[in-house]
A and B are shown apart, each in its own frame.
Chain A
Amino acid sequence: MVVLDLVKQEWKKGTRAQGFYKNLAVNLLLGFLALYMAALFLFLGFSLDNILESVHDTLNPAELFGGAMFYIVVAGLAFRFFMQQLNTINLPPYQVLPIKRTVLVNFLLVKPLFSIINYFHLFIVIPFAVQSVSGYYGSAVAVRFVLACVIFVWFNSLMAAFLKRKFSSGFLSFVALIVVFAVLIALEYFKIFSFFNISKICFGFIVGNPLGLLIPLAAVVAAYLLNRLFFYQNYYPERFNQKIKSDRNSTADLSFLNRFGMIGEMIAVELKLILRHKRTKSILYMSAFFLLYGLIFYTQPAYQERAGLLFFVAMFVTGLLMFMYGQWVISWDSGHFDSLMTKNIPIRTYLNANYYMLLAFNVICFVLTTPYFFFGTKIIYMHLAAFVFNSGVNIYLLLFLATYNTKRIDLTKASAMNYQGTTFKSFLIVMPIMLLPMFIVGAISTLVSMPVALWTLTILGVAGFLLRKPLITLCVNQFNKRKYKLAEGFRQSE
C-alpha cells in the first residue's frame, strides 16, 4: 500500500523534525489544553439538553439542534475556510517516483479526515444524543444523529479544502463572508426567510429516515468529486500545493513612512512583512475578532465589581496588536536577521523602529476600542490607564523579553493556528505581562480603591514614557548580549 507508506513518512517527518523533543514542553501543554477542551466539551454535551430544554417551549432540544444545524455547518465551513491548513505534502521527492497521481491526490484529500480535531465535537454530540435524542426518538435515531454529525464534518473539511484551493482566503473573501452572514442573520431575525425551519425539516428527515443518511453522504461524495475536479483541471504541482502567489501582493502605498527617516523605512518593511505572509495576516484577522472580547465582560453585571478582571480585559483589547505581534517582535525577522545585522542599521535604530511600531499598534487599538466608552466612565478610565500602562511599561518588557525567543519562525509555512516557533518560553514571556497588572489592580482596588489602582498604573506608564531613552538603552544592551544566540537560533530551520 503506497498510501500507508505515505502516512508513515508523514509521521516520520513530524517526529524527526528538529526540535520535536526540544518542544516537548509545548506539546505537553497543548496536550493539556486539548484535555481541558475535551472536558469542557463533555460538560457542555451533558448540559446541552437542559439548556435547550429551557430555551423554547414548543420545540424539543433535538429539533432545536436540527434547526441550528444549517448555521453550524455554514459557520464551521467559514471557520475552516480561514483557519484550516491546507494539507500539503512535500511533493517533488514523490513526483519523480512511480506513484500514481490519484494516490497522491487521495492522500491529500483524505488525510485531514483522520485528524483528531475533526472528532472533538463528538464530546458534545454523543452525550446529547444519548441524553436527549434517544429519549425523544429512540436509540436508532440517536445513532444516526451522531453519524450525521460526523458526516457533516467530513463534508465541511472537504468543502473547505476545495473552497480554499479555489478561492484565496484573502481579505475580500473575509468581507464577502461577513456580508453573507449578516444577510442570513437579518433574514432570520426579521422573519423574512427562515433557514432554521428548513434546516429543522431537512435534518429531521436525515436522522429520522433509515436511508436519510445517504443525503449527507452524497454531499460528501460531491465535495470529494469537486476536489478531484479541481486537481484534474489544475494538473501541475504549483497549483497543487497552492501557496501565496506573488501576484496577490499587497502593494499598499507605505511611502508616507519615508518621512520618518530610517525608522520609517524599517517600519515600512515590517508592515510589508505582516501584509505579505499568511501567518501574520491571519493574526490581523483574528485580532479583529478578539477586539470584541470586551463585549463578553463589559456587558455582564456580575463582572462589574471585579476590577482586576475588567482591567485585564481592558489591557487585552487596547494592547491587542501589541501582544499579538510583540512577543515575537524579533523572531518575525528571523528569515532575514543576518541581513538586518550586517546592513548599516544601528541596533538602537532597529529597536526604536520596533518600539514605534508597537506604539502605533497601541494607538490603533485604543482608537478602535473607543466604542466601549459607551459602557460608562469606569471603562473609559480603565482603557486610558491600560493604554498608558501598555505603552509605557509593557512595550519595553516585550522588547526586552522578545530576545529570549530564539526559535526561527518560518513565515512561508501555513497560516492560522500555526504554533511553529512557539516554545515554552513564549508562554513564560506573556504570562507575567498579562497577569501581573491584573493582580496589582485587583489587590489595590480591594485594599484601597479602584481610582488609586488605576492611577498607580498610569503613573508607572507615564514614568516609562519619560524614561524612554534609558529603557531603550537597556533593551539595546540586552539585545547585544543575546544577539549571537538569536542569530544562531534563527539560522536553524526545521
Chain B
Amino acid sequence: MIQVTQLQKTYNGITVLNIPTLTIPQGESFGLVGNNGAGKTTFFRLILDLIEATTGEVIVDDEKVMRNDNWKAKVGSFLDEGFLIDFLTPEEYFSFTGKLYHKSEGDIASFLYSIKDFFNAEILGGKKLIRDFSKGNQKKIGIAAALLGDPKILILDEPFTSLDPSSQIRLKRFLNDLQERLNMTMLISSHDLNHVTEVCKRIVILEKGKIVKDLQTGEDTLKELEAYFAV
C-alpha cells in the first residue's frame, strides 16, 4: 500500500529523516513512536507531499505521491490545525470535504450520525466557527473529516493528545473497528505508548530520523517500549 525507498530529508546539511526502505501493506495499523524531533511529523508530511524529499520517494498504491493528485482521493489525514478550514462551521467544513470526495448530503448526514457519540453533542448544530472550538474539539472535527471520504489510508499525528479520557477510549474503539470492518491502513503517531500498543499491530520507533526498532505488537511490546524510552 505504501512503499518508501531511500527517503531522506535534509535541512541545511542536517539529515532529519533517513529511511532506506519501509513497506506498509494494506490493512496494517502502523504506529510511529519517538521523542520530539525524531522525525515523525516530517515523515507524515513527506507521505502527504507537503515537503519535498531530498532524495528517494514515497509510493502510494503503485503511484509516486510527488506532484501528483491521484493519491489524494485515497488518503485521509489530520496532522494539525492547518488541516482544518477554521473560518467555516463544522457543518460547512464537512459538507465541503464531503463534496470533494463526491459524497451526497445524505451520505454526509449518515456519516455524521454514525460518529455522533464521538462528538458528544458538542460540535454539530451550533453556529460556532471551527476556530472558536477548543483544541480537543478541533481535533475531533479534523479526525472526522479525514474519515469522511472513506479513505483506504488514514494518517493521524498524535490523535490522542488533548482529547478527554472518554474521547480517547471512544477513538481507540473507533479505530479498531475501522481496521476490522474496513481493513483500513492506518498510520498513527503517538507519545502515549499505552494507546499506540492498543491500536497498532506494528510499532516503529524513530530516533533522530532513523528507524531503530520495528516491532509486531505482542504481549511484551509495551514493556519493551517502556524499557526503550526509560531514562
**Residues A246 and B128 in contact, CB atoms below 8 Å apart:** yes
List A233-290 residues whose CB lies under 8 Å from chain B.
246-247, 249, 251, 262, 265, 268-269, 272-273, 276-277
Chain A residues near B97 (CB, 8 Å)? Answer: 343
Chain B residues near A483 (CB, 8 Å)? Answer: 49, 67
**Residues B131 and A339 in contact, CB atoms below 8 Å apart:** no
**Residues A246 and B67 in contact, CB atoms below 8 Å apart:** no
**Residues B51 and A488 in contact, CB atoms below 8 Å apart:** yes
At the interface, yes or no: A305 with Cβ under 8 Å from chain B?
no
**Residues B87 and A251 in contact, CB atoms below 8 Å apart:** no
**Residues B72 and A336 in contact, CB atoms below 8 Å apart:** no
Partner of B149, one of A249, A344, A480: A344
**Minimum C-beta distance from B149 to chain A (A):** 6
Chain A residues near B52 (CB, 8 Å)? Answer: 484
At the interface, yes or no: A51 with Cβ under 8 Å from chain B?
no
Partner of A347, one of B69, B73, B84, B88: B69
At the interface, yes or no: A228 with Cβ under 8 Å from chain B?
no
At the interface, yes or no: A491 with Cβ under 8 Å from chain B?
yes
At the interface, yes or no: A304 with Cβ under 8 Å from chain B?
no
At the interface, yes or no: B127 with Cβ under 8 Å from chain A?
yes
Chain A residues near B92 (CB, 8 Å)? Answer: 272
Chain B residues near A265 (CB, 8 Å)? Answer: 96, 99-100
A342 to B71, CA, bound (A): 9
At the interface, yes or no: B86 with Cβ under 8 Å from chain A?
yes
**Residues B83 and A412 in contact, CB atoms below 8 Å apart:** no
**Minimum C-beta distance from B61 to chain A (A):** 14
At the interface, yes or no: A345 with Cβ under 8 Å from chain B?
yes
**Residues B51 and A484 in contact, CB atoms below 8 Å apart:** yes
Question: Closest residue to B73 on the A side, CB-wise?
Answer: A344
At the interface, yes or no: B75 with Cβ under 8 Å from chain A?
yes
At the interface, yes or no: B7 with Cβ under 8 Å from chain A?
no
List B69-127 residues whose CB lies under 8 Å from chain A.
69, 72-73, 75, 77, 79-80, 82-89, 92, 96-97, 99-101, 127
At the interface, yes or no: A10 with Cβ under 8 Å from chain B?
no
**Residues A338 and B129 in contact, CB atoms below 8 Å apart:** no
A247 to B127, CA, bound (A): 7
Q: Mark A343-356, 1 if CB is under 8 A from B, else 0.
A: 11111000000000
Chain A residues near B72 (CB, 8 Å)? Answer: 342-346
- Contact residues on B (Cβ < 8 Å of other chain), bracket: 20 to 34
At the interface, yes or no: A341 with Cβ under 8 Å from chain B?
yes
Chain B residues near A488 (CB, 8 Å)? Answer: 51
Chain B residues near A341 (CB, 8 Å)? Answer: 48-50
**Residues B129 and A246 in contact, CB atoms below 8 Å apart:** yes
| Known contacts A343-B97, A345-B72, A487-B50; A246/B132 CB under 8 A | yes
Q: Mark A217-240, 1 if CB is under 8 A from B, else 0.
A: 000000000000000000000000
At the interface, yes or no: A71 with Cβ under 8 Å from chain B?
no
Partner of A249, one of B48, B73, B129: B129
A342 to B65, CA, bound (A): 11
Question: Closest residue to B47 on the A side, CB-wise?
Answer: A342
A144 to B132, CA, bound (A): 50
**Residues B48 and A335 in contact, CB atoms below 8 Å apart:** no
Partner of B100, one of A246, A277, A338, A345: A345
Question: Closest residue to A491 on the B side, CB-wise?
Answer: B82
A287 to B52, CA, bound (A): 38
A342 to B72, CA, bound (A): 6
- Count the A residues whose beta carbon is within 8 Å of the partner chain — how many? 33
**Residues B127 and A269 in contact, CB atoms below 8 Å apart:** no
**Residues A338 and B79 in contact, CB atoms below 8 Å apart:** yes
**Residues B128 and A344 in contact, CB atoms below 8 Å apart:** no
A284 to B100, CA, bound (A): 29
Question: Closest residue to B74 on the A side, CB-wise?
Answer: A344
**Residues B99 and A336 in contact, CB atoms below 8 Å apart:** no
**Residues A273 and B87 in contact, CB atoms below 8 Å apart:** yes
Chain B residues near A181 (CB, 8 Å)? Answer: none
A346 to B79, CA, bound (A): 20
**Residues B100 and A343 in contact, CB atoms below 8 Å apart:** yes
Chain A residues near B50 (CB, 8 Å)? Answer: 338, 341-342, 484, 487
**Residues A339 and B132 in contact, CB atoms below 8 Å apart:** no
A265 to B92, CA, bound (A): 10
Chain A residues near B73 (CB, 8 Å)? Answer: 344
At the interface, yes or no: A424 with Cβ under 8 Å from chain B?
no
**Minimum C-beta distance from A280 to chain B (A):** 10
At the interface, yes or no: A123 with Cβ under 8 Å from chain B?
no
At the interface, yes or no: A325 with Cβ under 8 Å from chain B?
no
Partner of A336, one of B82, B101, B129, B132: B82
Chain A residues near B79 (CB, 8 Å)? Answer: 338
**Minimum C-beta distance from A325 to chain B (A):** 16
**Minimum C-beta distance from B148 to chain A (A):** 10
At the interface, yes or no: A465 with Cβ under 8 Å from chain B?
no
A490 to B83, CA, bound (A): 12
**Residues A337 and B132 in contact, CB atoms below 8 Å apart:** no
A342 to B154, CA, bound (A): 12
**Residues A339 and B82 in contact, CB atoms below 8 Å apart:** yes
Partner of B83, one of A249, A262, A339: A339
**Residues B83 and A277 in contact, CB atoms below 8 Å apart:** no
**Residues B132 and A344 in contact, CB atoms below 8 Å apart:** no
**Minimum C-beta distance from A215 to chain B (A):** 44
A347 to B48, CA, bound (A): 14
**Minimum C-beta distance from B2 to chain A (A):** 15
| Known contacts A246-B128, A265-B99, A269-B85; A342/B48 CB under 8 A | yes
| Known contacts A246-B128, A251-B127; A335/B96 CB under 8 A | no
Pairs A–B under 8 Å by Cβ, sample size 27: A246-B128, A246-B129, A249-B127, A249-B129, A251-B127, A269-B88, A269-B96, A273-B87, A277-B87, A335-B86, A336-B83, A338-B48, A339-B85, A341-B48, A341-B49, A342-B72, A342-B77, A342-B83, A343-B72, A343-B97, A343-B100, A344-B73, A344-B101, A344-B149, A345-B69, A346-B69, A483-B49
Interface residues, chain B, with chain A CB atoms under 8 Å away: 48-52, 67, 69, 72-73, 75, 77, 79-80, 82-89, 92, 96-97, 99-101, 127-129, 131-132, 149
| 5 A-B pairs with least C-beta separation | A338-B82, A484-B52, A346-B69, A336-B85, A276-B87
